[in-house]
Chains A and B, each alone.
Chain A
Amino acid sequence: MDAFLVALLNGLVYGLLVFMVSAGLTLVFGMMGVLNFAHASFYMLGAYAAFLSGRYIGFWGGLIVATLAVGLVGLFSERLLLRKVRSFGHTQELLLTYGLFFVLEELVKLLFGPTPVAYRVPDELRFTAFTIGNSQFPFFRLLMGATALLMFFGTYAALRFTRIGLIVRAAVERPQMVSALGHNVPIVFSGLFAVGSALAGLAGAVAGMYYPTSPAMAHELGSIVFVVVVIGGLGSLNGALAASLLIGVMTSFAVGVESTFGDLFRALGLGGLALPGLEAVQFSSIAGVLPYALMLLVLLWRPAGFAGNRA
């Protein structure tokens, strides 16, 4: 039971982190159909920005600087790069962000080297929040989860209850119609892009302390984030939250399971049938594949995703 609770909590925290990064990506896609390949690079930049600035202004200051700095990088990427290729269509936009992804990765390698930098949880935050049974739940994990929750409710409230939120929600559904109703769509889009990037930056600043801060960060999270956006339904914030939590919890449980496929086959009474190669494979070793398998299933069964209404 205790192990179950711990796995559940770990899964939820990881899921919330994934959501922090997916939120901006899904809204940007919903509004302009831009699938931003470099979105997870903003997540990586956030970690490095917090690492750099945190040395001078402390942990909390670093979080703020990272959020703002990455928001600015996002804003400039949109206005100086993406906007230039917009009229050529979505393929060109995709290729551009694909290029940006590698440029940012190489740039970070050049400046900080290919190995992780020493971005660590500060000592004053290294304590145990609570214990379940005999496992200790570090305060920092709690902080990560709380940041993500705060972000979800903040984003949700901003979308739900403010004038700007009203336009963004409308623009995600039908950008042209929003223009016909008096809204400057390119500016709304730039703003949304910047905010989405800033949120990814914040996520990186928080997560980079817990997980290694290295140029590979973007790769590691990038593909999962795409899975979330596809499963949740392109453009749907609620769908992204549900998919993130599902993937987080699923992965966390799969990692903790020590049974092998052989056990499963025997439990099903198929002991004799089992393929010899699979016999000794543990479930935990396929944890990484589960999200992608889920994505394939969702694509086959419901191509628009959980909450999607787009073809």
Chain B
Amino acid sequence: MTAALEIAGLSVAYGGAVQALSGATLTVPEDGFVVLLGANGAGKSTMLKAISGLLPFENGAVTAGSVRFFGEDIAGIPSHRLARKGMLHVREGRCVFPNMSVEDNLSTATFALDGRTPRKTRGFDDIYAYFPQLAARRGTAAGYLSGGEQQMLAIGRALVGDPRLLLVDEASLGLAPLIAREIFDILGRINQDRRLAILVVEQNVALALRHAAYGYILENGVISLEGKAETLMDREAISSRYLGGGHAAVAAH
């Protein structure tokens, strides 16, 4: 069975100088729920941008390695074409369109369906079913939503594009604990219902590992630890890693 995403030996540099990722290898199975953990500046967002083709916007480039999306090598494919292949990226900071209504925000993703799925322009009932709060506010400008609602909108918008792989950067950053849990619950349900492959970047280790099946830890641009969520839950292994302490053994698959 081909994986949704297979990254091998991926290195990324910004401006030809700042090395942000070095030889990272990571796999997301076809209906897997994988979490990428790591401290600030570890290179998590860089990895997602490299996958979804957004690096050129920030003067970054892949310098080595490969990214395969359902078996296809996607090196050099621009981000809008990747989105149309079903690679949808919920960016750090949500990036909703603040002056546009919730409904219009959702509509912007319908273009990602071009050439794959018949396009719909009205009625996002399936999306609102996951996020009832948004349904009540469909005419409101996104800028007036709370942080949690904006994150729901950003995820909902990505779902409108009918993803085959969903990338979520900083799923719970800046959200109240209860809202953060709700977001992860919903991601878990989406993963189950739609058999949708999800790769989520998160800093709340405990929360993420309770929902994801598998995890990777990124440190200074290098994958330093990976394993099943239960294994990684072993707090000591992780916290020692985070504090830059001893070299815990890499957990086996």
Knowing A166-B104, A177-B91 touch, does A182 contact B98 (C-beta < 8 A)? Answer: no
Q: CB-defined interface of B88-105 with A at 8 Å, one 1/0 digit per residue?
A: 110100010111100011
CB of B150 within 8 Å of the partner chain? no
Docked-complex contact B91 and A173, CB < 8 angstroms: no
Q: B157 — which chain A residues lie within 8 A by C-beta?
A: 181
Q: B114 — which chain A residues lie within 8 A by C-beta?
A: 182
Name the residue of chain B whose CB is nearest to the CB of A307.
B99
Distance (Å) between the CB of A19 and the closest chain B CB? 19
Q: CB-defined interface of A135-172 with B at 8 Å, one 1/0 digit per residue?
A: 00000000000000000000000000001001101100
Q: A163 — which chain B residues lie within 8 A by C-beta?
A: 111, 121
Knowing A167-B111, A184-B80 touch, does A177 contact B104 (C-beta < 8 A)? Answer: no
Docked-complex contact A173 and B98, CB < 8 angstroms: yes
Give the total of A residues in contact with B, Cβ under 8 Å: 20
CB of B108 within 8 Å of the partner chain? yes
CB of A91 within 8 Å of the partner chain? no
CB of A309 within 8 Å of the partner chain? yes
Q: A175 — which chain B residues lie within 8 A by C-beta?
A: 57
Distance (Å) between the CB of A56 and the closest chain B CB? 42
Distance (Å) between the CB of A93 and the closest chain B CB? 15
Docked-complex contact A180 and B89, CB < 8 angstroms: yes
CB of A176 within 8 Å of the partner chain? yes
Docked-complex contact A182 and B97, CB < 8 angstroms: no
Q: A174 — which chain B residues lie within 8 A by C-beta?
A: 95, 97
CB of A178 within 8 Å of the partner chain? yes
Within 8 Å by CB of A183, from B52, B54, B80, B97, lies B80
Q: B88 — which chain A residues lie within 8 A by C-beta?
A: 180-181
Knowing A169-B100, A173-B100, A174-B95 touch, does A182 contact B111 (C-beta < 8 A)? Answer: yes
CB of A115 within 8 Å of the partner chain? no
Residues on A lying within 8 angstroms of B by beta carbon are: 87, 163, 166-167, 169-170, 173-185, 309
Ranked 4 nearest A-B pairs via Cβ: A182-B112, A182-B83, A177-B95, A173-B97
- A-B contact sample (6 more), CB < 8 A, given A181-B111, A182-B111, A184-B80: A173-B97, A176-B57, A177-B91, A181-B157, A182-B80, A309-B143
19 contacts between A and B (CB under 8 A): A166-B104, A170-B105, A173-B97, A173-B100, A176-B54, A176-B57, A177-B97, A180-B54, A180-B79, A180-B88, A180-B89, A181-B111, A181-B112, A181-B161, A182-B80, A182-B109, A182-B112, A182-B114, A309-B98
